[in-house]
Amino acid sequence: MDIVWIAALAAMWVAMAGMVVGLSKLGASKGERS
């Protein structure tokens, strides 16, 4: 049973890491590119 909840925690972590990657590709404004 523990493995299910630990896997859920891992999945939530992966989702947030994915958000980090996704937001960094969201597109930067001119200022950020300069």
Contacts with other proteins by CB under 8 A lie at: 1-2, 4-6, 8-10, 12-13, 15-17, 19-21, 23-24, 26-34
Give the DSSP H or E segment for 7.
Answer: helix 2-24
d(CA 8, CA 19): 17
In whole angstroms, the minimum distance from the beta carbon of 9 to other proteins comes to 6
Largest CA distance in the chain: 51
